[in-house]
C-alpha cells in the first residue's frame, strides 16, 4: 500500500476499473495529483472478469467453429476436442499482458496507487484500513457485481455466475442460461461452439431485449440454425439439484435439466456499506444518482461506471471517467449522448448497434416522420465469403439524419466505428451514399443501406 495518506490530492478515486482508471490517467495528464484506490486489481471487472476474458473465449470458440466447418472452404481439418486448460491459459495470457501494461501506465503517470478496500469517510476523504486519503474532489467508481434472483442461491458449482463460468476447467455437456441479454447470448455462443447443449431462458419476449426488435429476430433465427435453444417470454420459478446437475423449473410448468445453470440476469451496483448514503449522496436502488457531468448530490463528489444508472459498458466507464477529469480541470467537456454509444454482443453472429431503435424513433418523432431501410448481407460479397448472414438496418428521420444503425452478422462490430460517426455527426443518407466504400468489404453494407435510404439503391432492392 502507498504511504502518502497525509497528502491532500486533487482527486481521490475509489475503484480502479474502467471508469476509475480512465479518470486517473486523464486527470494525471491534466496535471492533477491523483490517488487511485482498488481492493482487487486495477482494470476491474472488464479486464479481469468481463470484456477481455469473455472475448478471448469467444475467439477460441470461433477457432473451434472454423476447424469444425473447414470443409466448407475446401480445407481438410479435424476438431479433436476442446482443451480447456489450453483455452484458459490463452485467456489468462491475454489478460495478464494487458494487466501488466495497465500497471505500467499507472506507474508512469505518477498516480498514487493504493491496494485495499476503501470506504467513503466524508465528502472529501476515503479511508483504507487505518489510513485516510483526502481529496479536493472524490470520484466513486466501485463498479458492479453479478446479480442473482431472490431465493436463488449461487453455489459456484452447479448454479453459477459469469465469474464462475470464466474459470470453468471443463465444458459442460449441457447448460441452461437464465437471461438472454448480452452476457447470456455470449456464453451460449461459446458453449455451443465448444460442443455443449445450451438453452436460454428469457422472461422478456425476445433475446437481447434492449436491441431493435429486428436485430433480436435475426439473432434468434441464427441461434435456431446453430442449434441453440431458447425459451422467451417465460419466467424462472426455481431450481432443484439432481444427481447429474440441476433441474430448472419454469412458471409455465415445464422444466429443463442440465449440468449447470448460468445466472446471467444482469449486474448490480457495488455500493452497500461504503458510506455513500451516510455522506449525503442521493441513491436509488443502490445506484448513485448523478447529473450530466456525473456530479452527485454532494459538491465535489462524482460517480462513474456501473455504479451509476447509465449503460453498463466498459467504454461508457472510460468516457465518464474522462468527462469527470476534464470537468474538474475546467475544460468544459460536452455531456455524453448515451444514445450515441456503440453497443455490441460478441456472440456468433454478432449484434451491433448505435443510436435509437425503430420503436423509439417512432415514439420520439412520430411514425410518419421515420424512414427505415434494411440491407440483407446476402447481397454483400465479403459476407458471402465469410458465409455469414444478417442485415444492416437504418432508422432515419425523413428528410433528416440517421438516428439508428442496427446490424447482425459475423464481425459486424467492426463496422460500428463508421456507424458511430454517422449517428454522432448527424449524417444524412445522401452524405454517406456519396462515400465510396472499399470492395469487397462488409463496410459496403453500410454504403449500400444508405444508397437505398437515399432512394438510389445499387445492389439492394429499392
CATH code of residue 389:
3.30.390.30
Q: Are residues 141 and 234 in the same domain?
A: no
Q: Are residues 135 and 282 in the same domain?
A: yes
For residue 196, give the nearest of 219, 218, 168, 217 by alpha carbon: 168
The three cell numbers of residue 376 are 440483407
* pTM for the whole structure: 0.95
- Tally: H helices and E strands in the chain: 13, 24
pLDDT, residue 3, reads 47
* Separation between Cα atoms, residue 97 and residue 56, nearest integer Å: 13
127: left (phi over 0), alpha (psi -120 to 50) or beta: beta
Task: Please report whether residue 85 resides in a domain.
Answer: yes
Q: Are residues 206 and 116 in the same domain?
A: no
Residue 461 pLDDT greater than 70, yes or no: no
Q: Are residues 117 and 17 in the same domain?
A: yes
Task: Please report whether residue 341 resides in a domain.
Answer: no
Q: Are residues 47 and 189 in the same domain?
A: no
Residue 410 pLDDT greater than 80, yes or no: yes
Q: Are residues 23 and 113 in the same domain?
A: yes
Q: Contact at 8 Å (CB) between 397 and 370?
A: yes
Q: Which of 406, 439, 459, 461 is catalytic?
A: 439
Residue 439 annotated to the active site: yes
Task: Please report whether residue 165 resides in a domain.
Answer: yes
Beta-bridge mates of residue 405: 354, 394
Domain that holds residue 187: 159-265
Residue 133 pLDDT greater than 80, yes or no: yes
439: left (phi over 0), alpha (psi -120 to 50) or beta: beta
* Separation between Cα atoms, residue 96 and residue 206, nearest integer Å: 36
Long-range contacts of 356-363 (CB under 8 A, 24+ apart): 356/395, 356/403, 356/404, 357/211, 357/212, 357/213, 357/395, 357/404, 357/406, 358/212, 358/213, 358/214, 358/393, 358/395, 358/404, 359/212, 359/213, 360/404, 361/395, 361/397, 361/403, 361/404
For residue 182, give the nearest of 216, 213, 150 by alpha carbon: 216
Q: How many CB atoms lie within 10 A of CB 428?
A: 19
What CATH number is associated with residue 283?
3.50.50.60
CA 374, 376, 381, 385 torsion: positive or negative? positive
Task: Please report whether residue 343 resides in a domain.
Answer: no
Q: Are residues 307 and 411 in the same domain?
A: no
CB-based contacts of 134: which residues, under 8 Å, 6+ apart? 7, 8, 9, 12, 124, 125
Task: Please report whether residue 444 resides in a domain.
Answer: yes
Q: Are residues 81 and 167 in the same domain?
A: no
* Separation between Cα atoms, residue 372 and residue 402, nearest integer Å: 10
- Number of independent structural domains in the chain: 3
* Arithmetic mean of pLDDT, 423-447: 96
pLDDT, residue 5, reads 55
3-19 pLDDT, tens digit per residue, is 455 689 999 999 999 99
pLDDT, residue 459, reads 79
CB-based contacts of 180: which residues, under 8 Å, 6+ apart? 200, 201, 202, 204, 206, 207, 208, 209, 230, 232
Q: Are residues 27 and 84 in the same domain?
A: yes
SS3 at position 101:
helix
* Arithmetic mean of pLDDT, 162-191: 97
For residue 228, give the nearest of 182, 264, 271, 196 by alpha carbon: 196
Amino acid at each position: 500500500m502507498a504511504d502518502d495518506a497525509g497528502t491532500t490530492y486533487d482527486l481521490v478515486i475509489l475503484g480502479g476499473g474502467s471508469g476509475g482508471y480512465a479518470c486517473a490517467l486523464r486527470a494525471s495528464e491534466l496535471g492533477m495529483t491523483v490517488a487511485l484506490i482498488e481492493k482487487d486489481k486495477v482494470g476491474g471487472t472488464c479486464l479481469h472478469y468481463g470484456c477481455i476474458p469473455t472475448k478471448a473465449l469467444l475467439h477460441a470458440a470461433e477457432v473451434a467453429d472454423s476447424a469444425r466447418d473447414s470443409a466448407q472452404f475446401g480445407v481438410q481439418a479435424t476438431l479433436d476436442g476442446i482443451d480447456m486448460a489450453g483455452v484458459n491459459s490463452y485467456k489468462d495470457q491475454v489478460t495478464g499482458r494487458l494487466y501488466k501494461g495497465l500497471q505500467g501506465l499507472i506507474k508512469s503517470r505518477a498516480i498514487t496507487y493504493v491496494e485495499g478496500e476503501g470506504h467513503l469517510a466524508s465528502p472529501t476523504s476515503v479511508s483504507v484500513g487505518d489510513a485516510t486519503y483526502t481529496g479536493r474532489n472524490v470520484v466513486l467508481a466501485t463498479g458492479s457485481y453479478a446479480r442473482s434472483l431472490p431465493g436463488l442461491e449461487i453455489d459456484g458449482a452447479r448454479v453459477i455466475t459469469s465469474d464462475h463460468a470464466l474459470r470453468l476447467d471443463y465444458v459442460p455437456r449441457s447448460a441452461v442460461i437464465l437471461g438472454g441479454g448480452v452476457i447470456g447470448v455470449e456464453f451460449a455462443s461459446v458453449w455451443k461452439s465448444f460442443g455443449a447443449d445450451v438453452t436460454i431462458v428469457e422472461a422478456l419476449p425476445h433475446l437481447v431485449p434492449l436491441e431493435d426488435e429486428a436485430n433480436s429476430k435475426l439473432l434468434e433465427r441464427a441461434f435456431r440454425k446453430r442449434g441453440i435453444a431458447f425459451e422467451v417470454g417465460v419466467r424462472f420459478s426455481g431450481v432443484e439439484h439432481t444427481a447429474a446437475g440441476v433441474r430448472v423449473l419454469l412458471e409455465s410448468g415445464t422444466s429443463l435439466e442440465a449440468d449447470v445453470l448460468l445466472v446471467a440476469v444482469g449486474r448490480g451496483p457495488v455500493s452497500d456499506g461504503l458510506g455513500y448514503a451516510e455522506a449525503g449522496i442521493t441513491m436509488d436502488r443502490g445506484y448513485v444518482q448523478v447529473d450530466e457531468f456525473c456530479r452527485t448530490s454532494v459538491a465535489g463528489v462524482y460517480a462513474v461506471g456501473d455504479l451509476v444508472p447509465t449503460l453498463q459498458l466498459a467504454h461508457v466507464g472510460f468516457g465518464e471517467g474522462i468527462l469527470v477529469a476534464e470537468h474538474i480541470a475546467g475544460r468544459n467537456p460536452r455531456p455524453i449522448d448515451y444514445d450515441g454509444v456503440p453497443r455490441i454482443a460478441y456472440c456468433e453472429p454478432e449484434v451491433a448497434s448505435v443510436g435509437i431503435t425503430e420503436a423509439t424513433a417512432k415514439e420520439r418523432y412520430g411514425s410518419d416522420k421515420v424512414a427505415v431501410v434494411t440491407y440483407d448481407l446476402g447481397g454483400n460479397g465479403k459476407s458471402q465469403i465469410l458465409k455469414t448472414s444478417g442485415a444492416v438496418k437504418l432508422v432515419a428521420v425523413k428528410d433528416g439524419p440517421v438516428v439508428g444503425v442496427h446490424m447482425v452478422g459475423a464481425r459486424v462490430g467492426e463496422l460500428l466505428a463508421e456507424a458511430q460517426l454517422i449517428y454522432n455527426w448527424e449524417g444524412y443518407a445522401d452524405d454517406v451514399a456519396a462515400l465510396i466504400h472499399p470492395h469487397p468489404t462488409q463496410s459496403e453494407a453500410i454504403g449500400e443501406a444508405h444508397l437505398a435510404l437515399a432512394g438510389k439503391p445499387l445492389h439492394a432492392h429499392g
